[in-house]
A = this chain, B = another copy of it.
Amino acid sequence: MNRSKIYRYIDEHINEHIAKLQEIIRQPSISAENIGIRECAELVKKYFEEIGCIETKIVETSGNPVVYGEYNANSNKTLIVYMMYDTQPADEPGWIVNPFAGEIIDLEPFGKCLVARGAVNTKGELRAFLNACESIKACKEEIPINLIFVAEGEEELGSRHLPEFIKKYEKKLKEANGVFFPSVDQDEKGKVVMSLGVKGIIYFELELNGKDWGYGPTEFDIHGSNKAWVDSPAWRMIQALSTMTTKDGNTVLIDGFYENVAPPSQEDLELLKKIEETFDEEVIKKEMKVERFINDLHGIEALKKYLYSPTLNIDGIWSGYIGPGTKTVLPHKIVVKIDVRLVPNMKVEEVLPKIRKHLDKHGFKEIKIRELETGYGWAKTSVKEKIVQAIINSYREFGFEPEIWPLMAGSAPFCMFNREPLNLPFISGGLGHGGRAHAPNEYLVIQEGKNVKGLATLEKSYVSMLYNFSKML
């Protein structure tokens, strides 16, 4: 494969490639609001046809469809390319452009950026990867490895129906040697940061209302003076919640919560030691506007806490009157939104039963648990996997030594590929940078910088990765 020829082609056609990113951005695909999903799926299917897939299909599920594409490179190796075509909503205040216009504007300090919903999460990379494939073919070269495209439309809803697709295509998917998720790995200073795993997540609400309880107001908030002789679901919930953690809120007191939590492996500890050389906690704290970590931890101890602790986090809580000033009511219900992050080797199916058992044991049978999304488990790929080594090689070809994180604290449904039933090594990557996912003015850097790379290098890195996958897998 003549890579310099392909790289030159990418440079010469970069404006057309930018236009392709703009095209998919301009087709909104907001899964939470069910906007444009079908239209965007059709567009992605057309893309798969255009690069020469021998089979493309919109595969129905109980939710949004998965777009399937099979590219036959006559290779004896096969790569699953996982993609998502849905995005978050864009109704937050603060957007400086129409989030679906695909505008390219100057953003300090990067220069030209695509500023749009889905720019970096992840319609930008989806199209950039396809641009890379098209460039290979335009240069009369062959994509060096068979590809199975799996583009889902419910990532932002927790990929709840992806397992249906996987079950249906299990046999086919098992033929693959690994799974690649086209993404961008550079931080805003240009450092390449790879993550080999993610935490799992379960998101649920606890609710206590007077109707379920048999005490307190059952249907509406009543005058606050009635607290003297009527029970308060809000106080009751606070008492229940308080049994779940230590006084500092940092250790979970639910029986068996930490069961199966694995300490960092030897391989992980070695990676952590390397990270420590470049890890700058002050930058991270500044970005989050956090003054101190839990227990005033620093350095590798803070990192270990971050990556290897499961969490029981209150995302939101509300009850009664929450407007300005005073209104005296005895609220009839209280709701708490909680997410649990799971680390290896916790079992996703055990979490809610343990919480139920805890509530019952402490006498809070009346509190309802409502799962909001089907939870999923953690995922983890060893740094020794060839698919990981292939990506590291690509970064080095471009002059970057990646910082390799054995795990990240965030969650993504990679376990669906990485663990049962497929058990495939899973990695994401790409040499570029973007930011503000789930926030206003989401961006993907287009312009080439000294450290932060632009769209052309991102596409070239995908070409390089495909090459290394074909050699090393």
Query: Residues on A close to B: CB < 8 A?
Result: 32, 158, 199, 201, 203, 210, 214-220, 222-232, 234-236, 238-239, 241-242, 245, 247-250, 288-294, 297, 302, 305-307, 309-323, 325-332, 334-335, 337, 339, 341, 363, 372-373, 408-411, 438
Contact = CB atoms under 8 A, between A and B. Distances in A.
B337 A227 contact: no
B341 A225 contact: yes
Nearest to A236: B249
A329 B314 CA distance: 8
B238 A288 contact: no
A196 to B, nearest CB: 16
B289 A218 contact: yes
A242 B248 contact: no
Closest 4 A-B residue pairs measured CB to CB?
Answer: A235-B249, A242-B242, A316-B320, A227-B313
Most buried by B among A224, A232, A248: A224
Contacts of A216: 290
Given A238-B238, A239-B247, A294-B231, A224 B315 contact: yes
A227 B334 CA distance: 22
A341 to B, nearest CB: 6
A318 B315 contact: no
A364 B190 CA distance: 42
Contacts of A302: 229
A365 to B, nearest CB: 14
7 contacts: A32-B325, A203-B328, A235-B250, A316-B327, A317-B319, A317-B322, A327-B438
A219 B312 CA distance: 21
Contact of A315 (B236, B317, B329): B329
A319 B238 CA distance: 13
Contacts of A218: 289-291
Contact of A410 (B223, B229, B305, B337): B223
Contact of A372 (B228, B249, B290, B325): B325
Contacts of A210: 289-291
Given A288-B226, A307-B228, A322 B318 contact: yes
Contacts of A329: 315-316
Contacts of A291: 210, 214-215, 218
B203 A231 contact: no
Contact of A314 (B223, B234, B290, B372): B234
A309 B227 CA distance: 9
Contact of A317 (B305, B330, B334): B334
Given A215-B291, A409-B226, A411-B225, A203 B311 contact: no
Contacts of A226: 288, 290, 306, 409
B316 A322 contact: yes
B199 A225 contact: yes
A316 B325 contact: no
A234 B326 contact: no
Nearest to A230: B290
Contacts of A228: 305-307, 309-311, 341, 409
Nearest to A238: B241
Given A224-B339, A315-B331, A316-B320, 14 more contacts: A32-B325, A214-B291, A226-B290, A227-B311, A227-B341, A228-B309, A229-B293, A229-B302, A234-B314, A289-B332, A314-B319, A317-B320, A320-B337, A322-B337
A232 B210 CA distance: 28
